[in-house]
Structure 1
Amino acid sequence: MKRNYLPVLLVFFVLNFSFSQGLVLQKGAIIDSIAVKDSIQETFSLYLPTKFENKGQWPILFVFDGEGRGKQALGMFRQVAEKENYILAASNAVNDSISVAKNVLITKRMLSKVNSILPINLNRIYTAGFDSGGRMANLMPIFFKDIEGVISCGAGLANVELLTSKNPFHFIGIVGKEDYDYPTLLSHEKFLNGLNIPNNLLVFDGGKEWPKAVYLQKALRLFTLSAMAKGHEIKDSLYIKRAYNEDVTLIEQLKKEQKLLLADREISEMLNVYRTHKDLDSLKTIGKNIKKDKQYRSLKRNESAAFFKEELLREDYIYYLEEDLYTYNYNNLGWWNYQVGELNKFIKGDTEAERQMGKRLYGFLNALIEDNIDIVKSEKIVDDEALILLSMLKTISEPKNYDYYLNVISLSSKYEEYGTALFYLEEAFKKGFKNKERLDRLEHTALLRIAPEYNKLVEKYFDEARYKITD
């Protein structure tokens, strides 16, 4: 794929505070459903900070959401964009259900529209997103060379093969230590360092979730400091001093809470960011003292051991799932049940590193099964037997998600495997499933629902049956 494919049309005009439809661009509030063009059904959301003026050049962050929820996506960044004086925009049309090519075209039209009506700093165009939105965000610089940086929350690089040092956008990853994508982002950090592509990795205690505002603000601040270093923004010594002091305060707080690994990472990122702005000898001293701490060395050993074990278990999950699907090996469900039991032990483990590893592996296993479900469903001829097996696995790895019990019941009934359907029906009841209406609407179960065995189960768990049972 060539890097000059679908270039952004960056046209700069004077801002008019209202569109032809009479929509006023209000500052300090998210404006939703702004039309990209009258001739197409595409809209975007927009946020202008309260200090915005129709002059100068403003940084802009385009936020991506996998479900096209532009207003909600901007809501996550609104507070920090206000503090850091960034414009926000997000498409309501980009989503996971359409192809990358279509998402790129939609993004191109939105970028062109926004750049034609707002005074944008063309050296300060950034993208951001969470999970699938994060992958979309970090894919965009491959198509649009004018994108200066990316904030990817809970998501690694979408395609490392297309990256090159000839287009070195600034990548900022934000990830929780319990997120199964954490090891991936660590490996991508090394990859980017090898290409001399500027990058930062901000790590917090948590899982697959939106990071707190402090980390989102830190990411925007990193972009601003980088822009100052490159001459794309006027250097502000007071801003630099305030940002530096806040980062040092965060490090001291992490040290106080004995989160020494996180404190060490924060120092590494600060050394990378502030080296062109100020003397860092005192910060280096803090870092050296942390590394000498016995507690730090113990935490580091535990984390390294956990990463090693985690890598081996991930490989096992990938290998055995592939083998089981190839042979439709229902007999291996017991092994998978045992593995989930081991994961629950890890989650309750003695060390923080082991507990975090357990949560990452749990998330990885669920994501692995779900990815395979999506692959099977995307085939021209859907393999129902593979879907049954994968749904059975999900009842093991996610026992409170009743959708997968219902999938097994429906597909088993489709092939008249009523014994299997009844077994998973009772398992769902045992786990707390109570939605009788969903059962009545479940596809392929018309004959199952009139069976005496089915009605006995319904009567047992609901104190009533659909059909009266007679001797």
Structure 2
Amino acid sequence: MLRYIILLSICVNTFAQTYETGKLIDSILVSDKSKETFAIYLPSAFDANVTSPIVFIFDPGAEGKRGIQQFIKASEIYGYILVCSNHTKNGPYDRNFDITNRLFEFMFANFKIKQDQIYLSGFSGGSRLASAIAVLTNQVAGVVGCGAGFSLESSHVPSTQSFAYAGVCGDRDMNYQEMIRAKGYLQKLNFTNTLITYDGHHSWTPPDQILRAFDWLEIQAHLQGIRKKDDSEIYKNYQKVYNTALEAQEEGDLLIAVENYERALTTYNSFYKLDSIVDKLKVIRKSKEYKNLLKSVSKAFDKEVTLTKKFTTRLFEDYKKPDKIDLSWWEKELGKLEKLDEKEDPQTKKMLERLRFQIFAVAHSMNNPNLYQSNQKQKELTKKIRKLIYP
């Protein structure tokens, strides 16, 4: 993987000068042989004669334009070239690695890329692919993982520090718990990482949240001496994190407040004296409101694990024997979720939203020919279950 970077980065031609800047361009051909295409966005200030940082983006459904759209705001601020394949998608890793290698070969042969500012990002399965490539290549500066953590393949999971990792996830995303566990795992490794959460479900991360991730990565690049920032830019980024925490605290969203106060401390403690933030965190953590909130979150998480196992186990059992399915079980158990949802506890409501989508996503994945070889009855079964979840 990425074997082409060193060899071809010096062989740049005038190809990069042929594309309009500030415009999302779709379906550029990688080669006549492969017939693979990708989407690209060159920031308005792009100069083909100057090396540029780059973000390779992976969309789980192989929709290059959809993947790039969320990153344009960050691209215009930080000058990233954005690239997203129209062929990598949820499925076998080896297939995606081959497609990605051909895309790397094309980009590094035709564009001047900053070797120390190569970033990868993706959503859901694309996020897992991005982190896997970063681990296997050891030539990536950072990863923005949206809505999912790491591949289940152990060789794809980071074990030593080789890049910075910014996780981004909505608190109603089915992989919310997974992202929190990934953060804990990386912290045990003393791996440079952060987790940015927001009010959202399992869909491509909004542009403002993507920008927050790259604000953080840019500070990491500054700390490593890769990309020098002036004092005003550093302070501006610090203020964004601090203000997010302060607003969340004022609105009573203590999870977001603590998350951002902690990020402000760990990211900017070498620049400023932040005793006031330390004091704010002490006050929040000692409060009865925060302690009760943590109990509610923990209770919801435990319930989510139990229910996820219950529904997915039943789904796989029914999938194996679609002729003997009893839809009344599904109607009854999903009805219980509706009654549970009537409770006013917001953490329970978020948990149920995550759970429903998780079941739906597993059922939907069973129709992916790259993952399952489903017969017609199995396809009909999963369709019926999805319909029961979201009528």
1:29 aligned onto 2:18 = no
**In the alignment, which residue of structure 1 is the partner of 2:109?**
116
1:190 Cα deviation from its structure 2 partner: 1.6
Aligned length: 389
Q: 1:54 to 1:373 in 2, by over 3 A?
A: closer
| Contact 1:330/1:389 (<8 A) preserved | no
Cα deviation, residue 63, structure 1? 1.1
- Once the two structures are superposed, residues 353-377 of structure 1 have per-residue CA deviations (whole angstroms, 9 ceiling, x without a partner) of 1111111111122123334454898
| Max Rg structure | 1
**SS across alignment from 1:248:** helix
- Contact 1:134-1:153 within 8 A present in 2 as well: yes
The counterpart of 2:186, out of the listed 182, 187, 192, is 192
Q: Kindly provide the amino acid, as one letter, of the partner of residue 12 in structure 1.
A: S
The corresponding residue for 2:100 is 107
Structure 2 unaligned blocks of 5 or more: none
Structure 2 counterparts to residues 363-374 of structure 1, below 5 A: 363-374=357-368
2: distance between equivalents of 1:65 and 1:108? 16
CA displacement, residues 189-229 of structure 1 (integer Å, 9 cap, x when unaligned): 12222233222111111211223322111111111111111
TM-score (norm. length: structure 2): 0.89
Please say which of residues 360-369 and 330-339 is displaced more in the overlay.
330-339
Deviation at 1:342, TM superposition (A): 2.0
Q: Are 1:362 and 2:369 matched, yes or no?
A: no
Distance 1:375 1:83 in 2: 40
Gaps of 5+ in 1: 400-471
Tell me if the contact between 2:143 and 2:164 (Cα under 8 Å) persists in the aligned partners: yes
- Give, in whole Å, the separation in 2 of the partners of 1:91 and 1:390: 29
* Secondary structure of the structure 2 residue equivalent to 1:125: strand
Give the partner amino acid of 1:161: S
Whether 1:9 aligns to 2:2 is no
Write out aligned runs for 1:44-59 (5 A).
44-54=38-48, 57-59=51-53
Q: Is the 8 A contact 1:50 1:82 kept in 2?
A: yes
1:183 aligned to which of 174, 177, 181: 177
Q: Contact 2:170–2:201 at 8 Å: present in 1 too?
A: yes
Counterpart residue number, 1:461: none
Q: Give the counterpart letter for 1:214 in structure 2.
A: D
Q: Does 1:129 pair with 2:125?
A: no
CA 1:103–1:273: 2 relative to 1, 3 Å:
same
Contact 2:12 2:108 in 1 (8 A): no
Evaluate the alpha carbon distance shift between residue 378 and residue 203 of structure 1 in structure 2; reply closer, same or farther with a 3 A threshold.
same
In structure 1, what is the Cα distance between the partners aligned to 2:204 and 2:384? 30
Contact 2:72 2:207 in 1 (8 A): no
Q: Name the SS for the 1:142 alignment partner.
A: helix
Q: What secondary structure sits across from 2:177 in the alignment?
A: helix
Q: AA paired with 1:103? A: N
Which of residues 135, 140, 163 in structure 2 aligns to 1:142?
135
Is residue 347–residue 359 contact of structure 1 (8 Å, CA) maintained in 2?
A: no
Partner of 1:258: 252
1:368-408 Cα shifts (integer Å, max 9, x gaps): 333445489833xx555544544443332233xxxxxxxxx
Partner Cα distance (1:183, 1:140) in 2:
23
Which residue identity is paired with 1:69? E
Higher relative contact order, structure no. (Cα contacts within 8 Å, ≥ 6 residues apart): 2
Cα 1:26–1:331 shift into 2, 3 Å: closer
Alignment equivalent of 2:74, drawn from 65, 72, 80: 80
Shift of 1:176: 0.9
Pick aligned residue for 1:206 from 197, 200, 223: 200
Q: 1:8 to 1:338 in 2, by over 3 A?
A: farther
TM-fit CA distance, 1:332: 4.4
**C-alpha contact (below 8 Å) 1:168/1:198 kept by paired residues:** no
Aligned to 2:70, the other structure's residue is in SS state helix
Match among 300, 304, 318 for residue 294 of structure 2: 300
The 1-side partners of 2:108 and 2:347 are apart by: 46
- Asked if 1:283 corresponds to 2:277, the answer is yes
Query: Normalised by the size of structure 1, how large is the TM-score?
Result: 0.75
1:234 aligns with 2:228: yes
- Whether the aligned pair in 2 keeps the contact of 1:376 and 1:383 (CA below 8 Å) is no
Deviates more, 1:140-149 or 1:196-205: 140-149
Identity, in percent, stands at 27
Secondary structure, counterpart of 1:9 in structure 2: helix
How big is each residue's C-alpha offset from its partner over 1:164-209, in whole Å with a ceiling of 9 and x where there is no partner?
4345322222111111110111112122222332221111112112
Cα contact 1:49–1:87 (8 A) shared by 2 = yes
Instruction: Evaluate the alpha carbon distance shift between residue 325 and residue 378 of structure 1 in structure 2; reply closer, same or farther with a 3 A threshold.
Output: closer
User: 1:165 and 1:273, CA in 2 relative to 1: closer, same or farther beyond 3 A?
Assistant: same
1:92 offset after TM fit, Å? 2.4
Tell me if structure 2 keeps the 8 A contact 1:33–1:92: yes
SS at match of 1:234: coil
Structure 1 residue aligned with 2:151: 158
Q: 1:293 to 1:33 in 2, by over 3 A?
A: same
Counterpart-to-counterpart distance in 2, 1:296 and 1:224: 32
Q: Provide the secondary structure at the position in 2 that maps to 1:168.
A: coil
**In 1, are the aligned partners of 2:39 and 2:65 still within 8 Å (CA)?**
yes
CA contact (8 A) 2:319 2:378 kept: yes
CA contact (8 A) 1:14 1:54 kept: no
What letter matches 2:126 in structure 1?
Answer: G
Residue pair 2:138, 2:162 contacting (<8 A) in 1 also: no
